[in-house]
Structure formats: structure tokens, C-alpha cells
Amino acid sequence: MPKTAVVALGGNAITRSGQPGTYSEQAANARAMAVAVCSLRDAGWNVVLVHGNGPQVGNLAIQQDEAADVVPALPLFCVNSMTQGQLGSLLSLALLAEGHGRLPGVVSVVTHVIVDRDDPAFGRPTKPVGPFFGEEQARALAAERGWEIVRDGERGHRRVVPSPRPVGIVEVDAVRALIDQHMIVVAGGGGGIPVVAGDRGLEGIDAVIDKDFTAQRLATSVNAEALVLITDTEKVQLDFGTPDQRPITDMSVDEAMKYLDDGQFPDGSMGPKVRAAVRFVREGGTTAVITTAERAGASLDAGEMPGDDLVGTRIVAARR
């Protein structure tokens, strides 16, 4: 029976730093991701792919605002669903092309994710979306459009929106059924379309859910053996940015929590990935990996571990 890996990649992997985000750029980046996913598939894994959408949903929201005098602007949760369709198509086409006819199928599932209406995140926006702006332009946009704007590292200022924690995956049974058919599944795109319970059922609410937390919730819900969190860093670093910076290959969940408590992994950096990895293992998962796409397969090798120069960072219940 093939094992299942849920793989999460960021929207920044599809629109990379310094790129304007043209379709051809996004398609080329999607093809690079497809190589890594198909490699996992060739190694015997069922794969569920979860993607972020921070750059794309922010850009599309700007298009909505700019065209509001011609056609009505749609709410943020609806814009999120539009990026699910766009990026789901992009990744599906890339996977089909890379699969060269050897895949049983690739299915992109429009995925709704339940959140708590009373989540404190709704009163404290933290999720960056869209492009970077200079300080003057950012202040003008904040005043004109009512945006929350923060400085995001050295590259400038960005809009931030609420990012509540996922509580449940509405389409989880459909995802399980597709895994049973050995399909590659694209699900939970952009962290999922956030919904809450309303008088007539589920209804959308404006937010962007962190895709790493949604990937963890989905991985746990489908009883996946592995959670792979793709980043542009080969390994998690301790004492990052200091002369004592050093990579770490294996962490137990207890060690990871201690490092989190010590402030080694800030929320604006590796914090969400490490927290998602810890939660996945604590809720029954076997292995969580944080690494680049190129190292994902070697990091999940169940046999003799390859050399440290080939793998990323693994989080397990207890180190061997």
C-alpha cells in the first residue's frame, strides 16, 4: 500500500522574488515544482499538493480594486477561490506534462476550509499578500483603501490580512477518495477558501489561511505518513543570521518546541512551518520535512539516511 505525503509549497515558489508574475513565469516555476512532485510519485508515494497564494491573491485583489468602476469588486474569500482555480490549473498542467502519461491522473479540488469566526486573527491581520510597496505609496494605499500595511523585511511594505487557523477541511472525504485512486491531488490551494457556519450553512469570510497550517490539517485528516514543507532553504538554521548559524538535520518534537520557545524560529520566518510540523507529528504523523523541492525525496527515504548534504530538516517524534 503506497504511503501518502502532503507537500506544501508557497505562492512565492510560483511567483518568485523579483518577478512581476507573468503567466509564462508562473508556468515555468510550476514545471520546476512538478519535477519534485513526480519524483516523489516515482519513489512510491501518493502525493497531495497544497500551494500558497500570497503574491497571487494580493495581485488579483488589486486588479479587483482598480476595475471597481467598471465591474463590481468581489470579496477577498472569493478572490481566494479564483486563485485556487488559476494555480490549480497551472500546477495540474505542469504535473501532467512532467508525468509523460505515466500518472493515473491529476485532480485539482476547490477546497473550503472551516475557521472560527471568533479567531483572534480577525482582529490582528498578519498575513502579507500582494506586491511590495515603497513607504509613501504604502501609506497612500492604506488611507485610500483601508488596508492594513506593515513593513515586510528589507524589500518594503505589504498589505496584511487576517490569517485564522484552520479547523476542518470541507472536501476531505473527496480528497481521501482520490488518494485511494492513486491520483495526484491539488487541494487546499492558498490555504483554502475560508468559511464559517452561517444561518443557511457555510459562508465565506475574508481572510487568507496559512497554507502550512492547512497542509498539516489536511495531512492529519487523511492519515498521511509525511508532511513536506517546501521552502527556499535547504535546512532549518539555528541562530540564523549570527556567526553561530548552523543547519539542523533532525529534530524531535520536544527539541523543536524548545527552539520555538527560545525564539529560534520567528513567526515571520520558520515559525509557522516548525509549528505545523510539530502538530502533524504529535497528531500521529510519522515524519515532517522542511527543505527545498530538490531535497524532498531524499529526506523522506525510509531506508538508510543519505548524507547530510542531500537532505533537509526532519522533525520526528523522537530522534534515533
Q: What is the pLDDT of residues 156-205, one digit of tens each?
A: 898 899 999 999 999 999 999 999 999 999 999 999 999 999 888 999 99
Average pLDDT on 220-224 reads: 97
pLDDT of amino acid 303: 53
pLDDT of amino acid 108: 97
Residue pair 234/240 in contact (Cβ under 8 Å)? The answer is no
Candidate list 88, 188, 273, 285, residue with the active-site label: 273
Residue 120 pLDDT class (50, 70, 90 cuts): very high
- Kindly calculate the radius of gyration of the chain based on its CA atoms and give it in whole angstroms: 19
Average pLDDT on 47-63 reads: 91
* The total number of residues written for the chain in this structure: 320
pLDDT of amino acid 307: 62
Q: Which residue, chain included where needed, has cell 519534485?
A: 36
Of 228, 195, 230, give the one whose Cα is nearest residue 76: 195
Of 26, 48, 27, give the one whose Cα is nearest residue 37: 48
Question: Of 59-63, 66-70, 183-187, which has the strongest mean pLDDT?
Answer: 183-187
Candidate list 10, 11, 188, 285, residue with the active-site label: 11
CATH match for 225-320 among 3.40.109.10, 3.50.4.10, 3.40.50.300, 3.40.1160.10: 3.40.1160.10
* Mean pLDDT, the chain, whole residue set: 92
pLDDT of amino acid 302: 52
Average pLDDT on 47-68 reads: 90
Residue 81 pLDDT class (50, 70, 90 cuts): very high
Q: Where does the chain hold its CATH 3.40.1160.10 domain(s)? A: 1-117+167-211, 225-320
Residue 306 pLDDT class (50, 70, 90 cuts): low
Q: What is the pTM of this model?
A: 0.91
Residue 318 pLDDT class (50, 70, 90 cuts): confident
Catalytic residue status for 235: no
Is the pLDDT confidence value at 99 over 60?
Answer: yes
Average pLDDT on 47-54 reads: 93
Candidate list 10, 29, 58, 211, residue with the active-site label: 211
pLDDT of amino acid 182: 95
Rounded to 5 degrees, φ, ψ at 33 are -65, -35
Amino acid code (one letter) for 111:
T
Catalytic residue status for 44: no
Rounded Cα distance between 57 and 11, Å, is 9
Candidate list 54, 58, 88, 127, residue with the active-site label: 127
pLDDT of amino acid 39: 92
Catalytic residue status for 211: yes
What is the CATH T-level fold of the domain 1-117+167-211, as seen in this structure? Carbamate kinase (3.40.1160)
Q: CB burial class (10 A; 0-12, 13-18, 19+) of residue 51?
A: buried
Residue 1 pLDDT class (50, 70, 90 cuts): low
Residue 153 pLDDT class (50, 70, 90 cuts): confident
Residue 154 pLDDT class (50, 70, 90 cuts): confident
Of 54, 47, 75, give the one whose Cα is nearest residue 10: 54
pLDDT of amino acid 102: 85
Beta bridge partners of 282: none
Angle at 179 between CA 291 and CA 98, to 5 degrees: 60
**Which set of grid coordinates corresponds to residue 48?**
497531495
Is the pLDDT confidence value at 128 over 90?
Answer: no
Is the pLDDT confidence value at 85 over 90?
Answer: yes
Residue pair 163/143 in contact (Cβ under 8 Å)? The answer is no
Residue 11 pLDDT class (50, 70, 90 cuts): confident
Q: In the chain, what percentage of residues exceed pLDDT 70?
A: 97
Average pLDDT on 239-255 reads: 94
pLDDT of amino acid 229: 97
DSSP-assigned states of every residue in the chain: --EEEEEEE-GGGTS-TT----HHHHHHHHHHHHHHHHHHHHTTEEEEEEE--HHHHHHHHHHHHHTTTTSPPPPHHHHHHHHHHHHHHHHHHHHHHHHTT-SS-EEE---EEE--TT-GGGGS--EEEEEEE-HHHHHHHHHHH--EEEE-TTS-EEEEE--PPP-EETTHHHHHHHHHTT-EEE-SGGG-EEEEEETTEEEE-S----HHHHHHHHHHHTT-SEEEEE-SSSSEEESTTSTT-EEESEEEHHHHHHHHHTTSS-TTTTHHHHHHHHHHHHTT-SEEEEE-GGGHHHHT--SS---GGG--EEEESS--
Catalytic residue status for 29: no
pLDDT of amino acid 270: 92
Rounded Cα distance between 261 and 134, Å, is 33
| pLDDT: which is higher, 230 or 1 | 230
Q: Write out pLDDT tens, residues 14-40.
A: 988 888 889 999 999 999 999 999 999
| pLDDT: which is higher, 200 or 153 | 200
Candidate list 12, 21, 156, 168, residue with the active-site label: 12
